[in-house]
Structure 1
């Protein structure tokens, strides 16, 4: 049967000597695996359609679990996301998270549009820490694991201070915080940011100015949440964490005072 869909390439792997298998996220059929024959050859007509992050119009035949590309056309290549070091790292994380967090027939239109907006935001140069945290919230929502953020998961209290518990299901009030001694104490601004991310459509994401300390707290809260409920070992996240550690190390080196002048080293 011949299918025609618009889709985003969220995975691309070598298959045989000259072929690739791509995973498309589509609005109509969820994830679709398609063989692109000859994609690795220099003069391939469809090699660019098999590149990671590509958004295109794909026509393919499918009789079993895998389809076979018949024709296609690039709508947007998102070449910006394949340049340098940070761009591919951030975009790869969003793609791998999407691929691993949902089953082939899940999410469809909702997460497709959210991932598309995530890619557009990264390509436009918006703060990747904010873009990825917002998208992580969209993924956990699509997977059915939304945290409760507006009231205590234990007693329903809606006022007072809260702590964030990934094991209890979200917010714990000051009377119930004993239920999870490891629950995170977050800044008020971080709670507001988490609630914004929960209600946000990624297509309306603007430029949000957030302090570095708040970014770190949001990152830790969502990391714990995903580790508890999705339990994914993502190569791309590990790479980002190593990149962050290296950046922090360079930052500390920059701040270290010169022993003779007392000025910060360059």
Structure 2
């Protein structure tokens, strides 16, 4: 893939994010001061109030907002007392829109923004531009063995990614450092779909399972870009009594 290394973000599993414009590498394990100094080479850094996070820092560059901060792994373990950088979120700030009028749900809008064009600045993992192609094509190119620290937010079919989270590989719970990662912290991000916001959703039967559909004058299918996570969400929606319709 032809690219300009000075004009792109590169995600390095278990390492961090190589920043554009010669700003250096945002490394997992940095403390807040080192993270702020590194992000400051891209532009003005602002603090964010993120629930359960002792700190979070954001900088804007090239049509993206990058937010960096600790994750659930930060501060765990007997030798680790300071919360360290473990999670980076890249979110598009241009060419994103919501496809339908805002729903009157106590100020909360569950619909993902929609991007119908590639981002101007590449965000690369394994030579694949995560924002440069429709999300379904990106996931197909990454394959089933894609890095466990990568998460794409839901997108509508045919849409481009709006937000990507890249995390340091987390340790399993219970002190077992040999097992696989858990999806539970990610699953919690969608809890509104089977709890407080469940009346806004329905499940449509297909020949192979269910589609998650946002109700409205123009119902919208929502693609969860992780098969296991989608299955977990659907199971909980069914158990909570979310409406099921025939496709």
> Normalising to structure 2: TM-score of the pair?
0.26
Q: Which has the higher helix share?
A: 1
Larger Cα-atom Rg: 1
> Normalising to structure 1: TM-score of the pair?
0.25
